[in-house]
Amino acid sequence: MNKPQSKKLRNFLIFSLAMLVLFLQGCATTQPTPVDPLAYRNRTKTSVNGDITVTVAVPTISEARAIYGVQLASKYIQPVWVEVRNDGDDTYWFLSSGLDPDYFFPSEAAFAFKTDDKNFQKLQFKNPIGPGSTQSGFILVNLDEGFKAIDIDLISRKAVKSFSFITTDPEFKADFKLVNFDTLYKAEDIINIEDEEELRRKLEELPGFTTNADGDKKGDPLNLVLIGETNDIVPALVRRNWHATETTWSRAIMRTVKSYLQGERYRYSPISPLYVFGRPQDIGWQKARNTINERNHARFWLSPFRFRGKKVFVGQISRDIGVKFTLKSPTISTHVIAPDVDEARRYFVEDLAYSQAMAKLGYVKGVGVVNRKEPRLNLVGDPFYTDGLRGVLFFEPRPYTLSEIQILTWETPSGFYDVSKRE
Amino acid sequence: MNKLHSIMKNQSLIIGSMICIALLMNACATFKKPATINEAPIKERALTQEANGIRASAAVVGDREATQIFGIDLTRKKIQAVWVEIENNADRPVVFLPTAIDPDYLPPQEVSFAYHKVFAADENAALDRHLMNLSFPIRNLINPGSRASGYVFTNWFKGMKVIDIDLIGDNLSQNFTFFALNPDIAQGQAIIDRMETMFSAVELQKVESEAALREVLEQLPCCVSNENGESSAEPINVVIIGAIDDWTTAFLRRGYRYQVLNPRYAFGRVQDISGKKLSRGYIKGQELSIRFWQTPIRYQSKPVWVGQTSSRLGGRFADTAPAEVTLPMNPHVDEARDALAQDLAYSQALIKMGYIKGSGHARLTRKEASPKDTPYTTDGLRVVLVFGHRPVSLEDIDFFNWERLADYR
């Protein structure tokens, strides 16, 4: 195809979508109100491990502006406030790379706003944390909207102390909130499981497929189970570059359309709701790949099961390999999923093996084999096939290396269905 | 209702234009399965290693070879195939993790999807089958006494490719590292040969004790220089100790990639290797570049390298410029050094670290001129990083009892 022609077409597309964006955007403006730069101190979270006490808080976008005097969020920068109290005899170091391997240097962030870096340097958290002392300050990291998973690793000559937190943003729009997993089920509805074989049976009895809102149509297979504490699971996902996403359309759909056309990687584009236990996903995750059109999507629902006191989530993962437009989804555009959904499951398991928080892995029976020659269709009409198993991932507090992962001898996933190696 | 109407109208517009584009692009030929496949040269040049009963082989598939084998031009989508063979004679099944080779590797169906043509369902299905048959069975367990082989599709990379093989089993992991050459580019072998033959046995400076190591490291040149060795520039602020397989893969795992950078000089020669931290997904990677020189020093028989790491002024927010233009450097050079050291602590291969006196500027007030006369500040220390075999957790990192960074703050 010749270039000018494709450019013309593209411009035409952008124009028509820009019109659509303008049309849908309405006319809301906000009045600036004075913000207390210390308000984040009312939302701190604290955790103690031996002699070390760590307190964290994340200022909102407007608080961050009040603290730094510039709109950090406009450059996708977010400050995280960290305080470490050291009551022991060893000197500790906080590793910023653990919080975000691509954190911003204060000088770099100041440059982004063409301002002197003195104030940025002053606000920065400073190592080391000597015996009997307390250090506090900010680390500038990549912006997360809605909530933030915070990994704090402190090392000394003798020990490593790891802390994981999840903080929520009180200012963030109501269409995206972290579900309170501790109050989702009433105490009397919770089913406690102690025995591993019993767990296997119960996991096999979980629903096989997601459904539509009315629960009368079956969609994608539920092919994942995560077991662990939220504070171990969520930061493990974040560490592997997964991002929680909005479920509904509102602002996000506009940003999706924009990023689709520009080939950018908008990290919060929404994923459509699917239903299990009569409700849409409690949390949706995605991991962007080369472009927005190629992503891994995962949705999770908290189940009423508790295994040895830990939460059991059931979920669904698929991989997008393109975008199509549809009226079957409230987001207009929907992603074409790769029909081989087990590949996405395998990728997820492997990815999380590197998260340093996966302690155990196994497979249990799920929806049963869906043959490649007779694929099923999901709710938006994309075909899929599967060996019908669910991957079961057990999470523990960090760190777990690859060598320490225990593999349960439950089911064994098969290779490609119905395709012999070497015809 | 109005809203919906407008959406639908726009939607049909979009669909219409999409179909037009698709038709235009479909002009080229559809897939035909190659009649003969010649894999012999690939298997011949494959590198092999064996440990703990597991044998691994790997080779990079050249672009021309790929067209001959897969029947499609992989370079069109910047894809490069890697051939892998695993033979398991250990006592338990293992699984192969392609993420180690490339975190953005592509499963065969995604590759074939990218080459699908409209109105060519049969040819598309044939391509799917062809690639699936040739690909490494990544989903299968490799049982004791069995062997698995096939291709892994990765992002295209120029020159020498570092192939990292990770296998896991129940409470077991086994790692192999290969430096595999792209047969289309001869220059890769020259780099490896040069590293290995750089110093003769008599030139090697063997060091055994920590105290002796510290002494020789402190005597290394303070800074890099221009070609004539006249003006001294950025401080040599990193010392790497370890087998090249161990430390290069550690950098790789933390997102650094081989990249040709502007020349800097130390020991009278331009850097031996250089690299840069890349972006991950939609997040821009820290603007860190590093240049390495091998030294004749061998600490407990491990090769010692020195490095210079820095970022440019403004980092990710600096204006873009062509590669040959030297941009002003971030005057806080220690930010880059400390970020690098912390980052590598997570590489699972760092076994020991410490700080020694380096460029001699012990106070922040001292300034030195870089080639573009950018003044910079440093505490004058260099970080020493010792690498071993994976996996090493954060807890296992040991420390040299040398300079305390805190005394220089």
pLDDT at B1 exceeding the cut of 50: no
Q: Which chain A residue is nearest to residue B107, measuring alpha carbons?
A: A343
* Cβ-contact B388, B349 below 8 angstroms: yes
Residue B375 corresponds to which tokens in the numbers above?
């003044």
Q: Which residues of B touch A105 (CB under 8 A)?
A: 286, 311, 315, 330, 332, 335-336, 339
Instruction: Give me the mean pLDDT over the B127-137 stretch.
Output: 91
Quick one: pLDDT at residue A18? Answer: 62
Nearest residue in chain A measured CA to CA from B340: A97
Q: What is the pLDDT of residues B14-58, one digit of tens each?
A: 666 666 555 555 445 678 888 888 899 999 999 999 999 999 999
pLDDT reading at B370 higher than 50: no
Chain A residues with CB-CB distance to B172 below 8 A: 403
Give chain A positions within 8 Å (CB) of B140: 414-415
Residues paired with residue A85 on neighbouring β-strands, in sequence order: A53, A134
Of the candidates A56, A53, A49, the one whose C-alpha atom is nearest the C-alpha of residue A134 is: A53
**Extents of the domains making up chain B:** 28-185, 198-408
- For residue A27, the model assigns a pLDDT of 44
Partners of B151 in the β-ladder: B83, B135
Q: Do B15 and A126 touch (CB under 8 A)?
A: no
Q: Which tokens hold the place of B46?
A: 């494959």
**Rounded to an integer, what distance in angstroms lies between the CA atom of residue A107 and that of residue A120?**
7
- The number of angstroms, rounded, from the C-alpha of A265 to the middle of its chain's C-alpha atoms is 15
Instruction: Say if residue B206's pLDDT is above 60.
Output: yes
Q: Would the CB atoms of A288 and B171 count as touching at under 8 Å?
A: no
B contacts of A17 (beta carbons < 8 Å): 10, 14
Q: Is A13 helix (H, G, I), strand (E, B) or coil?
A: helix
| CA pair distance A124, A115, nearest whole angstrom | 16
The three-point CA angle B207-B213-B215 to 5° equals: 120
Chain A residues whose CB is inside 8 A of the B107 CB are 338, 340, 343, 347
Could B137 and A415 be called an inter-chain contact, meaning their C-beta atoms sit closer than 8 Å?
A: yes
- Find chain A residues with C-beta within 8 A of B285's C-beta: 102
Partners of A45 in beta bridges: A56
Least trusted range by pLDDT, from A37-41, B218-222, B229-233, B273-277: B229-233
For chain B positions 157-196, those within 8 Å of chain A (CB to CB) are 166, 168-173
Arithmetic mean of pLDDT, B230-244: 86
Inform me whether the C-beta atom of residue B311 falls under 8 Å from chain A C-beta atoms: yes
Give exposure, A278-315, as e/b (b: 16+ Cβ within 10 Å): eebbbbbbbbbbbbbbbbbbbbbbbbebbbeebbbbbb
* Amino acid (1-letter code) at residue A209: F
* Interface contact flag, A160 B395, Cβ < 8 Å: yes
B39, B149 Cβ separation under 8 angstroms: no
Cβ atoms of A381 and A212 closer than 8 Å: no
Q: What is the pLDDT of residue A249?
A: 45
Q: What is the separation of C-alpha B276 from the centre of its chain, rounded to a whole number of angstroms? A: 9
Inter-residue contact A404 to B171 (CB < 8 Å): yes
Q: Is the pLDDT of residue B346 over 60?
A: yes
- Res A398: pLDDT: 79
Positions in chain A short of pLDDT 70: 1-33, 172-178, 246-270, 289-294, 322-336, 415-423
Nearest-neighbour CA in chain A from B184: distance (Å): 26
Find, among B350, B374, A177, B283, the residue nearest to B383 by Cα: B350
Helix (H, G, I), strand (E, B) or coil at B240: strand
State the DSSP string of A330-398: TTSEEEEEPSBHHHHHHHHHHHHHTTT-EEEEEEEE-S--B-SSS-EE-TTS-EEBB--EEEEEEE-SS
- Give the whole-angstrom CA distance, residue A235 versus residue A238: 5
Q: Does B2 touch chain A (CB under 8 A)?
A: no
> CB distance from B255 to chain A under 8 Å?
yes
Stretch 36-95 of chain B: residues touching chain A, C-beta under 8 Å: none
Model pLDDT, residue A353: 92
User: For B86-103, how does the pLDDT look when each residue is reduced to its tens digit (9 = 90+)?
Assistant: 999 999 999 999 988 887
Which CATH code of 3.40.50, 2.60.40, 1.10.3470, 3.10.450 fits the domain covering B28-185?
2.60.40
pLDDT per residue as tens digits for the range A294-332:
678 899 999 999 999 999 999 999 887 765 555 555 445
CB contact under 8 A, A157 and B399: yes
State both tokens at A125.
Answer: 């958290």
Cis previous bond, A304, omega within 30: no
Domains of chain A: 39-168 (2.60.40), 187-407 (no CATH)
